[in-house]
Chain A
């Protein structure tokens, strides 16, 4: 029988182009970029809400926002930044770079990957749609403590539904990451040779899979109490507010690590490359990640020290203090990697150093909060606001910006402008510290968080004024970053495959990579396959 062979080129459907190709894509790289665009869009919204709050608090007895509007801004700022900005930004990097770092063609389930992404804007817009309904958006804080959240208007229901959608997206994405990492690694890429950023994504994914469903359960109880007359959180009918606190914080504290593990992974990639040395201890970082992942499930009640509902303050204080040991190991490894290295202070390294310094402050002021004796005096003050922002902005956002400058040439084939990048870094660094460092002092002076106004005789005005000034400087820095991205995208593609002399597999392919990711893969015999290939090539050239 005669067989006519169909040439693959002729049989393959023509690739879609334009907007439709982005809307229907299942390519992990395009989905990664969609994550970044979506997250930075929500970043602008969350940032504007933050500026409104800072404008309101700039002076005593502010009149920029009503108390109810302030509560809505405060709630949605926290919700957006945590669930729709920081976590999805890291998921975006994960989408783009995890398959590249492990030498895979794509994620394990590309269509589920697309679904995970598209659920995010749906969930985010559901939450934001609260502004359009009677009574406004959710106003019970990002923690939505009961009974306040039970009493809220329709906006609170939209907040609950939106978070359920975002939670579903996160769980689907996390399952996809775990399967991709455990099943699709290239030959030679053993777990011990896996890049640190991929390890951080794996750890984060386990946290999401095990912690996010508990929040979903809490959200169902909350919605049920609000709309179906149940009594989960109603002490009069046998319920307890402790049920919300426990379900929320059982998710909420691992959530903090979901937001910083990825940033630690990025920084752990950048520091060795720009120090001209291997990471001081690859195994040390991996073990620290695993220890933190495990310990993060044992610390949630430190958020509840002052409620009187925690059976053992000393246990939860001890586990919280304990988590600072693997975190300290990470700092030690980063510094030891830089020590006597050939440091190149390019923009990714500058942001990585900013991250190390700022996250250190966030870690130290967290240790204060871990002590019940201290916590009783500074709980629910601006000290906590300072702490969370040193961790999530000084830590996660600085780390994410380091990642943007590091990986932008790979994603776009173009470099971001160094001059604009330096302006971005210094305005963000100064603005960040101006905004959040004074909040430590405000906290010690007794200024409570989540207040829409304060009287002049408290003496909090000057420090709040400085904080507001700093917040607008941060806004300028972010504007400079966006200008940098837009200007750089108009330049010709000049970035080579390996512009930074990188170590990991994403630098073994063109910038940007082809649809199939790799034409050829180098042999993987260590944690630095691209470095090995570079050295082998240099040795060959030397030999000839």
Chain B
């Protein structure tokens, strides 16, 4: 390899690190965004004698549990996609990214089904406000993730992931954040609330 090629290779590896670092910082920033909503939740929870408020009916956790299970599986498939990309196996990377997208769409559908007939609306006090705005924003992040996966998937199909690893790394970092966010939302808004009502 000539000195110039080495310089190009060094530059390329540096570029990929820049994208990955940018996504890590972006995810940190997004975490602070959701921390604000969780902070409001925690503060409200601490100030209320009864939680959830008495006018909030018992939440069914069937669909949300199925949704979060699907999301966790998507966390595994994106990890497999990343492994394939790191092996420079663009074909398998494309397959696993495709699987992740299917699971992501399934999560969105299950979440929407789970949010039908909840028995309370966005106007119904602070719990309704927190529930709809936070879960809605989390779902918007999943939809954004599907768009990102589609972009990286097309790069995998074109064989680009055989020479560049950073798109897969970037997608994996973002999707891991989305999975963690989905789990937190499930625990805070469904699991803890249901156990509080039934307990």
Tell me the interface secondary structure of chain A in the complex: helix
Per the 8 Å Cβ criterion, residues 127-177 of B in contact with A are 127-130, 132-133, 137
Cβ proximity bits A169-192 to B, threshold 8 Å, 1 near / 0 not:
001000110110011100000000
Q: In the bound complex, do residue A221 and residue B40 qualify as a contact, i.e. CB atoms below 8 Å apart?
A: yes
How near does chain B come to A187, taking the closest CB pair, in angstroms?
11
The reply on A281 being an interface residue by CB < 8 A is no
How near does chain B come to A491, taking the closest CB pair, in angstroms?
40
Q: In the bound complex, do residue B25 and residue A242 qualify as a contact, i.e. CB atoms below 8 Å apart?
A: no
Q: In the bound complex, do residue B122 and residue A230 qualify as a contact, i.e. CB atoms below 8 Å apart?
A: yes
Give the residues in chain B near A210, CB-CB below 8 Å.
Answer: 28-29, 32
Per the 8 Å Cβ criterion, residues 15-48 of B in contact with A are 17-18, 21-22, 25-26, 28-30, 32-37, 39-40, 43-44, 47-48
How near does chain A come to B9, taking the closest CB pair, in angstroms?
16
The reply on B53 being an interface residue by CB < 8 A is yes
The reply on A217 being an interface residue by CB < 8 A is yes
Contact of A221 with B133 at beta-carbon distance under 8 Å, contacts A175-B22, A214-B32, A230-B128 already known: yes
Q: In the bound complex, do residue A211 and residue B129 qualify as a contact, i.e. CB atoms below 8 Å apart?
A: no
Contact of A247 with B36 at beta-carbon distance under 8 Å, contacts A182-B21, A232-B126 already known: yes
Q: In the bound complex, do residue A228 and residue B122 qualify as a contact, i.e. CB atoms below 8 Å apart?
A: yes
Give the residues in chain B near A183, CB-CB below 8 Å.
Answer: 14, 17-18, 21
Give the residues in chain B near A224, CB-CB below 8 Å.
Answer: 129, 133
How near does chain B come to A234, taking the closest CB pair, in angstroms?
8
Most buried by B among A175, A228, A247: A175
Q: Select A179's contact among B18, B28, B35, beta carbons within 8 Å.
A: B18
Most buried by B among A211, A230, A238: A238
Residue on B nearest A178 in the bound complex, by CB: B25
Q: In the bound complex, do residue B22 and residue A238 qualify as a contact, i.e. CB atoms below 8 Å apart?
A: no
Interface residues in B, total, Cβ within 8 A: 34
The reply on B125 being an interface residue by CB < 8 A is yes
Distance between Cα atoms of A247 and B35 in the complex (Å): 10
Contact of A231 with B129 at beta-carbon distance under 8 Å, contacts A221-B40, A247-B40 already known: yes
The reply on B4 being an interface residue by CB < 8 A is no
The reply on B116 being an interface residue by CB < 8 A is no
Give the residues in chain B near A212, CB-CB below 8 Å.
Answer: 29
Q: In the bound complex, do residue B33 and residue A238 qualify as a contact, i.e. CB atoms below 8 Å apart?
A: no
Residue on A nearest B20 in the bound complex, by CB: A179
Cβ proximity bits A335-352 to B, threshold 8 Å, 1 near / 0 not:
000000000000000000
Q: In the bound complex, do residue B129 and residue A243 qualify as a contact, i.e. CB atoms below 8 Å apart?
A: no
The reply on A246 being an interface residue by CB < 8 A is yes
Give the residues in chain B near A239, CB-CB below 8 Å.
Answer: 44, 126, 129
Distance between Cα atoms of A491 and B40 in the complex (Å): 57
Most buried by A among B26, B32, B34, B132: B32
Q: In the bound complex, do residue B36 and residue A218 qualify as a contact, i.e. CB atoms below 8 Å apart?
A: yes
How near does chain B come to A294, taking the closest CB pair, in angstroms?
15
Distance between Cα atoms of A395 and B26 in the complex (Å): 30
Give the residues in chain A near B127, CB-CB below 8 Å.
Answer: 238
Contact of A109 with B29 at beta-carbon distance under 8 Å, contacts A214-B36, A238-B44 already known: no
Q: In the bound complex, do residue A109 and residue B125 qualify as a contact, i.e. CB atoms below 8 Å apart?
A: no
Q: In the bound complex, do residue A211 and residue B25 qualify as a contact, i.e. CB atoms below 8 Å apart?
A: no
Distance between Cα atoms of A209 and B129 in the complex (Å): 26
Distance between Cα atoms of A109 and B127 in the complex (Å): 41
Contact of A109 with B18 at beta-carbon distance under 8 Å, contacts A237-B125, A242-B43 already known: yes
Q: List 13 A-B contacts (CB under 8 A).
A: A179-B18, A183-B14, A209-B25, A209-B29, A209-B32, A214-B32, A220-B133, A229-B123, A230-B129, A231-B128, A240-B44, A240-B47, A243-B43
